[in-house]
Structure 1
Amino acid sequence: MAEEKKESLHAGAVEIEKAIKEYYPETDPLVLKKLEEWKKLKFGLLVHWAPSSQWGIVESWSLCSEDEEWCKRKIEDYCEYKKQYENLMTTFNPVKFDPAKWAEAAKDAGMKYFVFTTKHHDGFCMFDTKFTDYKITSNRCPFHKNRNANITKVLFEEFRKRDFMIGVYFSKPDWHSDYYWWRRFATPDRNVNYDISKYPDRWQKFVEFTHNQIEELMTDYGRIDILWLDGCWVRKYTEKELEEERKKSNFNIYRIQNQDINMPLLVKKARTKQPGLIVVDRAVPGIYQNYLTPENQIPDEHLPYPWETCMPMTPSWSYEPGLEYKSTRKLIHSLIQIVARGGNFLLGIGAKPDGDFEDSAYQRLKEIGNWIKINGEAIYNSSPLYPYQEGKIYFTEVSDKINYMFYLIDENESVLPEKIILNKFIPKKASLISILGEHQKPSWIIRKNQTIIYLPEEIRYNSNHKFAITFKIINP
């Protein structure tokens, strides 16, 4: 299978058309203030991790009966499979887990915010919840005796020490909860497996369970900046919306119903505990999606509202041995493209069962960090600058007087071009142009409504700019 196709299926990518179609502006001044702070950060880390990492499989989805190639089960008997899957907590003992190591590697990479999967769809909690024993701190889990047993808490503490914004990833569906997947019935797809209109009391217990767990995370884990909710099918639908969803749903996903978890009350309680909390009810159009999250994709143009591309380093969000990592070049180019179009880049890593990242992940983080140390001033606190892109050139600005141009260097481009020609971007005649990380300055002219920048020979042939070179334009 081609990498692009595998990646799209494997990650369950949200279609770009759906992800960017509707945005409902926030009105809470504290949320708006925090959104502006978040927009300046540009680069974040998302980590998926759970006991299923011991099997090296895609997160959660093999429990679901939707028949997709990327989440096939190795055991034919579903009941036996689910039993063994949920029993993985009894052997999960990530003794190499070092939260400070993760945080320091992310800081050195130039990342500024951190989102952690406190609970994915399988329902296993990586925090010390009081509302289920299916958790990392259960006495059934050997890691519960470790001083870092409350993984979410120690991670947030370490990242917060390094001035990161903190985000809670939380799955709205919970495939372990008997209030969501009732053991009385089979589980044909990702949705709740009973008729909510027939059993409203059971559904209300699930709503209370969800609210209680989020309240724990908002209360006992320090300052939280982002509540990043996944599982867009758990939402309130109108009858018209339900009809439309049922018409377009495929064979694998057909038990769609109104799964209202009372988002207004949930958000109100969360923001009472965490004023100004950014809420991302992703892929659910409405006022509780404070920024949009196209998954595994970069929009083709500048978007005028807050958004974030979330993308894993490999084709999978979770740890799966043997998967190919995206090159550092691709990751840096993605960061530049996203920032130039007004977004943030949330880069995903799947942790291994021993509690560490693979060496390839650390290598990518280090190389990105080395590039950002030179070029970061053109990334952080920046805004898109018209014309946003000309071929391999992308533009940002930090003020009217300070503009930046990124030239993306191809893998086999060992010699930089003699000159760069711009047709849409014309600096003022007295502007000063320099190259970040270089003492030599390029010469430039305006001729026939074109900007022509000439690169010094030494930089062309002996450039330390392996992935992208950044020009700084200071306007008079």
Structure 2
Amino acid sequence: MKNLLKFLVVMLLTSNQVIAQAIYEDERYVAETDPLVLKKIDEWQDKKFGLLMHWGTYSQWGIVESWSLCPEDYGWCKRTKGTNPENYNVYKKEYEDLKKTFNPIKFNPEKWSKAAKKAGMKYMIFTTKHHDGFSMFDSKYTDYKVTDPDCAFSSNPKANITDEVFKAFRKEDMWIGAYFSKPDWNHENYWSPNYPPFDRNVNYDPDLHPEKWQKYVDFTHNQIMELLTDYGDIDILWLDGGWVEKMDQLKIDEFYGKKFSEVKTGSGFIKHRVISQDIKMDELVVKARKKQPGLIVVDRAVYGKNQNYLTPENRVPEKTLPYPWESCIIAGGGWSYTPDAIYMSGRQGIHTLVDVVAKGGNLLLNIAPGPDGTWQQGAYDLLNEYSLWMDVNNTAIYNTKPISPFKENNICFTQNKEGSVFAIYLVNENDTTIPKEITVTAINPSRGAKINLLGSNINLKWEKLENGFKVIIPESLRKNPPSNYACAFKISKVNN
């Protein structure tokens, strides 16, 4: 009974979060007006498939990124490593000392970029700095960085990891995105040494200490402008830590009210607070786009004009959304390196990509490098599955848009800019063949339309039905489909 109650509490909290996110997705988007940015967003939406990488000193412990430093009572903040994880001050010191032993001598970003490109990925987002404040680039504004002499990797020719990663992926003609955390738990003007940290937020009142807060704002702007000035063409500035934002009293009252009740326990204990933390985003974006015209800015989970697309985390929305969005999905283990991580199967990976694209989104797949600078074999195995499938079916994915309905039974639909529709048949788990006939009621091919299975030059026979159509598949294709897990039928022309 005790375990059942725990399960029900978890499910209740999870459902509350999903409801809050669904409300957010339906109501919380402000369209961009800058024509250069709008053009860039259109191009980004056509790319469909990207790579996210969480990497930092925390990989040495195989723990969730940064969050064990946060004094909040959530499972992901639990401390399990170090000599005395029950003692917060000892733990924090040992965590920060991971900088001294971080030495990924097998770091080879060219191998990653080639595998990502082969898999069909068109852009990447790399964690230049997570919440713990450790900079994976040569910032002149902090000593807590990979190039500091105290870091074991600092003498390596590839010590400026962000620069090496960006160059390797740019060489493969992929768009470059810089993940950057707005909160910095190492910085004295965010978590001041004068006070203990209470939760994820700044640990003093910015309104009572405006000069101190302004120093932090300047530091944040300086680091971001460093990235946008010294690291080549950047296509996406992907900001995390959505709680660092300017808030009015109405928003604060809303948080502590019913809409966001999931932050409280049954006793009324609030696990983290809401504090207005004006990071001067509007000013930052103006400066950023002077350096990088057309830059896509993703101020995650902050309602307003600086969130050019939405980023549902580790889940796929239930329906199409009327604006740009991207599902961030873990490929295996966690966001950060997990020893012995179990990765998605090829079927799961392909079906997730098809589901996301059919609903009008992009898939951002997270792979976490290990402490030695390598990906696990499971990551390469999954990307190879994508590669084999995309070699055959990529025209049903890239440069497409959603149609209504986006799915019928186990068939998802996309449409290209010429008006052709792709019906992507998701093969059931235990099936090794596809059926002799497939019936679709939601689509009506035009008279004289041609239907073929991608990967085959055979024009398939089809019959118009009272509602929809039926396509007949010859035995040669049924027994030896051109691709595993999902087969895409191209319908040359449909009736509107």
**Structure 2-normalised TM-score?**
0.92
Q: Determine the C-alpha separation between the residues in 1 that align with 2:273 and 2:429.
A: 47
User: Partner of 1:123 in structure 2?
Assistant: 133
User: Partner of 1:167 in structure 2?
Assistant: 177
User: Partner of 1:47 in structure 2?
Assistant: 53
- Is 2:352 the partner of 1:352? no
CA drift at 1:147? 1.1
CA drift at 1:20? 4.4
- Choose the corresponding residue for 2:33, options 23, 27, 30: 27
List runs of 5+ in structure 2 lacking aligned partners: 1-5
- Choose the corresponding residue for 2:414, options 396, 421, 425: 396
CA drift at 1:68? 1.8
- Choose the corresponding residue for 1:73, options 56, 69, 79: 79
CA drift at 1:24? 0.5
CA displacement, residues 227-258 of structure 1 (integer Å, 9 cap, x when unaligned): 00000100000111111113334235343211
User: Partner of 1:375 in structure 2?
Assistant: 393
User: Partner of 2:286 in structure 1?
Assistant: 268
Write the letter of the residue equivalent to 1:55. W
Q: Determine the C-alpha separation between the residues in 1 that align with 2:274 and 2:457.
A: 61
User: Partner of 1:470 in structure 2?
Assistant: 488
User: Partner of 2:238 in structure 1?
Assistant: 228
Q: Alignment partner of 1:369: what SS?
A: helix
Write the letter of the residue equivalent to 1:273. K
User: Partner of 1:237 in structure 2?
Assistant: 247
- Choose the corresponding residue for 1:387, options 380, 388, 405: 405
Number of aligned positions between the proteins: 471
Contact 1:279 1:288 in 2 (8 A): yes
Write the letter of the residue equivalent to 1:72. K
User: Partner of 2:316 in structure 1?
Assistant: 298
Write the letter of the residue equivalent to 1:336. V
CA drift at 1:88? 0.3
CA drift at 1:450? 2.8
CA drift at 1:473? 1.3
1:294/1:282 CA distance change after superposition, 3 Å? same
Q: Which moved more, 1:70-79 or 1:341-350?
A: 70-79
User: Partner of 2:226 in structure 1?
Assistant: 216
CA displacement, residues 279-336 of structure 1 (integer Å, 9 cap, x when unaligned): 0001111000001111111112111211111111125110011332121211111111
Q: Which moved more, 1:29-38 or 1:239-248?
A: 239-248
Task: Report matched runs for 1:253-332 at 5 Å.
Answer: 253-332=271-350
Q: Determine the C-alpha separation between the residues in 2 that align with 1:424 and 1:405.
A: 10
- Is 2:450 the partner of 1:432? yes
CA displacement, residues 93-135 of structure 1 (integer Å, 9 cap, x when unaligned): 0000001111101001100001000000000000000111000
Q: Alignment partner of 1:387: what SS?
A: coil
Write the letter of the residue equivalent to 2:340. G
User: Partner of 2:111 in structure 1?
Assistant: 101
Q: Alignment partner of 2:489: what SS?
A: strand
Contact 2:332 2:379 in 1 (8 A): no
CA displacement, residues 340-359 of structure 1 (integer Å, 9 cap, x when unaligned): 11111110011100001000
Q: Alignment partner of 2:31: what SS?
A: coil
CA drift at 1:464? 4.1
1:20/1:228 CA distance change after superposition, 3 Å? farther
Contact 1:227 1:279 in 2 (8 A): yes
- Is 2:78 the partner of 1:82? no
Q: Determine the C-alpha separation between the residues in 2 that align with 1:308 and 1:269.
A: 25
Contact 1:293 1:308 in 2 (8 A): yes
CA displacement, residues 385-411 of structure 1 (integer Å, 9 cap, x when unaligned): 232211111111113442211001122
Q: Determine the C-alpha separation between the residues in 2 that align with 1:71 and 1:239.
A: 28
User: Partner of 1:114 in structure 2?
Assistant: 124
- Is 2:148 the partner of 1:138? yes
Contact 1:271 1:277 in 2 (8 A): yes
CA drift at 1:457? 1.4
- Is 2:68 the partner of 1:62? yes
Q: Determine the C-alpha separation between the residues in 2 that align with 1:19 and 1:171.
A: 22
User: Partner of 1:182 in structure 2?
Assistant: 192
CA drift at 1:383? 1.1
- Choose the corresponding residue for 1:453, options 464, 471, 474: 471
Contact 2:324 2:361 in 1 (8 A): yes
User: Partner of 2:166 in structure 1?
Assistant: 156
CA drift at 1:21? 2.8
Contact 1:190 1:253 in 2 (8 A): no
Write the letter of the residue equivalent to 1:325. Y
- Identity between Structure 1 and Structure 2 (%): 50
1:48/1:16 CA distance change after superposition, 3 Å? farther
Q: Determine the C-alpha separation between the residues in 2 that align with 1:322 and 1:366.
A: 19
User: Partner of 1:205 in structure 2?
Assistant: 215
Contact 2:392 2:483 in 1 (8 A): no
Contact 2:200 2:272 in 1 (8 A): no
CA displacement, residues 161-186 of structure 1 (integer Å, 9 cap, x when unaligned): 11111111000011111111111211
**In angstroms, what is the RMSD of aligned CA positions?**
1.8
User: Partner of 2:3 in structure 1?
Assistant: none
CA drift at 1:266? 0.7
Q: Determine the C-alpha separation between the residues in 2 that align with 1:151 and 1:316.
A: 21
Contact 2:59 2:337 in 1 (8 A): yes
Write the letter of the residue equivalent to 1:316. G
Q: Alignment partner of 2:222: what SS?
A: helix
Q: Determine the C-alpha separation between the residues in 2 that align with 1:17 and 1:297.
A: 15
Q: Which runs of 4+ in 1 moved over 6 A?
A: none
Contact 1:229 1:282 in 2 (8 A): yes
Q: Which moved more, 1:131-140 or 1:411-420?
A: 411-420
CA displacement, residues 15-40 of structure 1 (integer Å, 9 cap, x when unaligned): 34324431111000110111111111
Q: Alignment partner of 1:386: what SS?
A: coil
Q: Alignment partner of 1:367: what SS?
A: helix
**Structure 1-normalised TM-score?**
0.95
Task: Report matched runs for 1:247-258 at 5 Å.
Answer: 247=257, 248=260, 249-250=263-264, 251-258=269-276
Write the letter of the residue equivalent to 2:171. K
Q: Which moved more, 1:197-206 or 1:398-407?
A: 398-407
